[in-house]
């Protein structure tokens, strides 16, 4: 018998890492779904705008017409975090904030353990002090390590992780399991993301890396726009259709909508703790992604092949059946749409969120529409049901 808990509807959501790539797109979905959002970020992974404001969240305000409450705050600064909680009645927390570059984590392990683990402990302690026990945790498919079977469902073993970043996510998940056992009044969902790419269809929001360690789509975009000479691909001798690694690329807006679906689940049920995969269920090789990008954008992306990197995984893609059945969520956007939306963002914002001339941006978006037409890729991915 579980603890009989009547779950109130959520009104105010506290979002850590809210100015980052996934965080900002999720904030937009939350606002459009009717939630009030309190967002914090320390600008480690995102652009700081004028007067300490979050550049990405200013775009959210522009798109939605709604004001976002934002604080610059590092989760390692527990007194500052506690001060913010005292100012607001917070119903639920979505915890994105983390250092997240796999390569960097292998070079700076102590920094990753300190930031990701201690920051999370501080957050949980402040939540408990304020009787806010509803949490969506931003986890990762990296916790599965080298998969025993494909596609990967939530019953797959976890913990055999190949990098420090993934180990921080695994340790936090284990910590949350222990917390839910000791204090069963907690209600937690862990969302295990696969590989987010793409941008908001408006072209006003997207991924703006602040470090050399970056995800694949901004790298492809940098090559296509002429900022880099070629895309480096590590490994062309895997047992895959074209020899390159296979991943499950998911549109960032599908990922964002997954959080809104998970919020509804938290409000309706007392789960104690439960994990869900958020992916498309379709494996795509690196070269397939590149060729699709070239086709959609009418650009060329030269590729330089290098040997495999130690710790890289050959193939990884999701079985997202559980999210479909229990959250009512399925990834809807195609690989073509992922590429198309990212390119719209890239062309209109060559300097990312550092672009300030809105008239210039509007002109660039109009030029894209004229040369490529309205978005023509309406097909959806084949999600697992």
Looking at residue 51, its pLDDT comes to 72
Looking at residue 103, its pLDDT comes to 84
User: pLDDT by residue (tens digit) across 12-64?
Assistant: 999 999 999 999 999 999 999 999 999 999 998 888 877 778 999 999 999 99
Q: Give the residues across from 17 on adjacent strands.
A: none
End-to-end C-alpha distance for the chain, whole angstroms = 29
* pLDDT lower than 50: segments of the chain: 1-7, 356-357, 359, 364, 368, 372-385
Task: Tell me the two tokens of residue 357.
Answer: 């001339």
With CA atoms as reference, report the closest residue to 183 among 118, 133, 127: 133
- Where do we find the tokens 């409450």? 69
Looking at residue 355, its pLDDT comes to 60
pTM beyond cutoff 0.95: no
338 touches 377 (CB < 8 A): no
Looking at residue 367, its pLDDT comes to 54
165 is a catalytic site residue: yes
Looking at residue 310, its pLDDT comes to 78
Calpha distance 38→20 (Å, rounded): 14
State the catalytic residue, choosing from 21, 35, 144, 165. Answer: 165
Structural domains of the chain in order of their starting residue, each with its CATH number: 12-198+249-278 (3.40.50.720), 216-247+282-317+334-372 (3.90.25.10)
With CA atoms as reference, report the closest residue to 202 among 60, 331, 376: 60
């Amino acid at each position: 018998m579980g603890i009989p808990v009547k779950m109130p509807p959520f009104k105010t959501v506290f979002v850590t890492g809210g100015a980052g790539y996934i965080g900002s797109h999720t904030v937009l979905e939350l606002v459009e779904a009717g939630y009030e959002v309190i967002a914090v970020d320390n600008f480690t992974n995102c652009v700081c705008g004028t007067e300490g404001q979050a550049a990405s969240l200013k775009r959210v305000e522009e798109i939605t017409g709604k004001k976002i409450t934002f604080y610059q705050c590092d989760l390692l600064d527990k007194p500052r975090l506690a001060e913010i909680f005292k100012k607001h009645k917070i119903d639920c927390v979505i915890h994105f904030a983390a250092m997240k570059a796999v390569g960097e984590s292998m070079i700076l392990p102590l920094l990753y353990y300190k930031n990701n683990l201690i920051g999370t402990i501080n957050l949980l302690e402040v939540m408990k002090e304020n009787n806010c026990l509803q949490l969506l945790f931003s986890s990762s498919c990296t916790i599965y390590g080298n998969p025993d079977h494909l596609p990967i469902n939530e019953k797959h073993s976890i913990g055999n992780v190949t990098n420090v970043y993934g180990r921080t996510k695994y340790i936090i998940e284990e910590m949350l399991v222990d917390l839910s056992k000791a204090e069963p009044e907690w209600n937690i969902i862990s969302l295990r993301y696969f590989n987010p790419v793409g941008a908001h269809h408006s072209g006003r929001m997207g991924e703006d890396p602040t470090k050399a360690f970056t995800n694949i789509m901004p790298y492809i975009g940098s090559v296509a726009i002429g900022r880099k000479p070629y895309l480096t691909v590590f490994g062309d001798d895997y047992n895959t259709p074209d020899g390159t690694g296979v991943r499950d690329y998911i549109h960032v807006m599908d990922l964002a909508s997954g959080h809104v679906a998970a919020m509804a689940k938290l409000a309706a049920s007392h789960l104690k703790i439960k994990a869900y995969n958020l992916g498309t269920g379709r494996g795509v090789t690196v070269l397939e992604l590149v060729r699709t990008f070239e086709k959609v954008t009418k650009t060329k992306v030269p590729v330089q092949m290098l040997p495999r990197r130690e710790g890289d995984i050959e193939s990884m893609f999701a079985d997202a059946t559980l999210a479909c059945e229990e959250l009512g969520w399925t990834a809807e956007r195609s690989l073509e749409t992922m590429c198309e939306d990212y390119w719209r963002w890239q062309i209109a914002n060559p300097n990312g969120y550092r672009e300030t001339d809105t008239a210039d941006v509007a002109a660039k978006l109009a030029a894209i529409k004229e040369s490529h037409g309205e978005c023509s890729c309406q097909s959806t991915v084949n999600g697992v049901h």
